[in-house]
Amino acid sequence: MPILVFIESAEGAVKKSSAEAVSYASAMAAQMGEKEIIAIALGNEVPEESLANLGKHGATKVLQVSDERLNQGVIQACAAVLHQAMEKTGSDILVLAKSSLGDPVAARVAIKQQAALASNIVALPNLDEGFVVKRSIYTGKAFTYVKLNANKKILAVKKNAVDLKEDGNPVTVETFEAVLSDADFNVKITKVEKAEGEVLLPEADIVVSGGRGMKGPENWGMLEDLAKVLGAATGCSKPVSDMGWRPHHEHVGQTGIKVSPTLYIAVGISGAIQHLAGVNSSKYIVVINQDPEAPFFKAADYGVVGNAFDIVPKLTEAIKASKN
Ligand SMILES: Cc1cc2nc3c(=O)[nH]c(=O)nc-3n(C[C@H](O)[C@H](O)[C@H](O)COP(=O)(O)OP(=O)(O)OC[C@H]3O[C@@H](n4cnc5c(N)ncnc54)[C@H](O)[C@@H]3O)c2cc1C
């Protein structure tokens, strides 16, 4: 039975989290002795060449539903297409990335397919005990192991939990004809407002974040310079936004934005539990803090003990130099 993978896109490109979902499906197929991994992309915004490149991550075939109404990511319409694709391809397993679109789509497809659903999955299933998946809960502080008992299964994979497979070859992209009615498009995005020229924090692959250790808003230039050379978004701790040093939409943590970038650089942030709750899904955490006892170092992959005002400009210059 083929494994189906739902591909999400943003601004005309396949999302990295969806490429990870394909890699996950590929590794799972190898475990199960399955040969076919079918990726399905909805809408017509992603160029065919990019879709074909999903073969590098393990897809054996790509289906595209080129209905431009699907570019908007309407939950009901996406679920209708994936339900039809599972039926037509005979897939018993749907893999997708856990996301604000992936989760509700997965729930709807699970109802239509009477499938077992698990989200926020961080490891390949254990097939020795049936089909047991490991899920991250409490913002990465704990895990649960869940046995999926139904024949049909839907797996939403957590961002950055899977290594990206890169050694495959491009594959053919075929058209998939889905039957959709106006009733499937019961929601329409009428307007998108996006901060010009900024990397959006929730989507960012790299985040440079500052805390009270930055002393004041006038010192944020050095963090913005670092973010610029890295193509990163900027974030901050709660007190920083409460004091009006930075806008509230940059506040990261339990009561702010939860991020899961590949790299989170925390500068002058102590690492209170409420801040960590928003960042501990990051793949790598780098902490720059002058206090070697700062709690953030316990959650860090790499730490620099020292004065941010010395270290950050040097880091920025070193990255610039390495790019030249
Ligand atoms: C209900 C509740 C919800 C909360 N939600 C959030 C949340 O969502 N997000 C959040 O961030 N906080 C949240 N908080 C607040 C949280 O508990 C901490 O108070 C806050 O995260 C601390 O922010 P900070 O690390 O910037 O400041 P501080 O705790 O003051 O830490 C500043 C750090 O900067 C270092 N430093 C100082 N000078 C330098 C220098 N020159 N170079 C390098 N390092 C330096 C210090 O050693 C220190 O570790 C919440 C609190 C509560 C009670």
Question: Are 162 and 45 in the same domain?
Answer: yes
pLDDT surpasses 90 at 195 = no
Pairing of strands 37-42, 61-65: parallel
Question: Are 206 and 100 in the same domain?
Answer: no
How much is the pTM?
A: 0.80
Question: Are 60 and 181 in the same domain?
Answer: yes
Q: Lowest-confidence range among 76-90, 94-108, 195-209?
A: 195-209
Question: Are 140 and 206 in the same domain?
Answer: no
For residue 10, the enclosing domain spans 3-185
CB of 270 closer than 6 angstroms to any ligand 1 atom: yes
If one counts the domains in the chain, the total is 2
The CATH number for 273's domain is 3.40.50.1220
Q: Could you read off the pLDDT of 120-177 as tens digits, one per residue?
A: 999 999 999 899 999 998 877 789 999 999 999 999 999 888 989 999 999 999 999 9
Phi and psi of 217, rounded to 5°? -65, -25
Question: Are 39 and 142 in the same domain?
Answer: yes
The CATH number for 98's domain is 3.40.50.620
Pairing of strands 206-210, 233-236: parallel
Question: Are 252 and 104 in the same domain?
Answer: no
Q: Is residue 196 part of a domain?
A: no
Which residues does 317 contact at the CB level (< 8 Å), separation at least 6?
A: none
Cα of 311 from ligand 1 centre, angstroms:
19
pLDDT surpasses 80 at 51 = yes
Question: What is the residue with the minimal CA distance to atom 18 of ligand 1?
Answer: 272
Mean pLDDT over each residue of the chain, to the nearest integer: 95
Pocket probe for ligand 1: among 246, 275, 279, 285, the residue whose CB has the most ligand atoms within 8 Å is 275
Q: Which atom of ligand 1 is nearest to the CA of 278?
A: 8
Angstrom distances, CA of residue 154 to CA of 4, 39, 113, 178, 277? 10, 14, 9, 20, 26
Which residues does 226 contact at the CB level (< 8 Å), separation at least 6?
A: 208, 232, 265, 312, 315, 316, 319
Question: Are 177 and 289 in the same domain?
Answer: no
Question: Are 181 and 205 in the same domain?
Answer: no
CB of 219 closer than 6 angstroms to any ligand 1 atom: no
Question: Are 222 and 144 in the same domain?
Answer: no
pLDDT, residue 196, reads: 60
Tokens 């915004």 belong to 45
Q: Is residue 154 part of a domain?
A: yes
Q: Could you read off the pLDDT of 276-303 as tens digits, one per residue?
A: 999 988 999 999 999 999 999 999 999 9
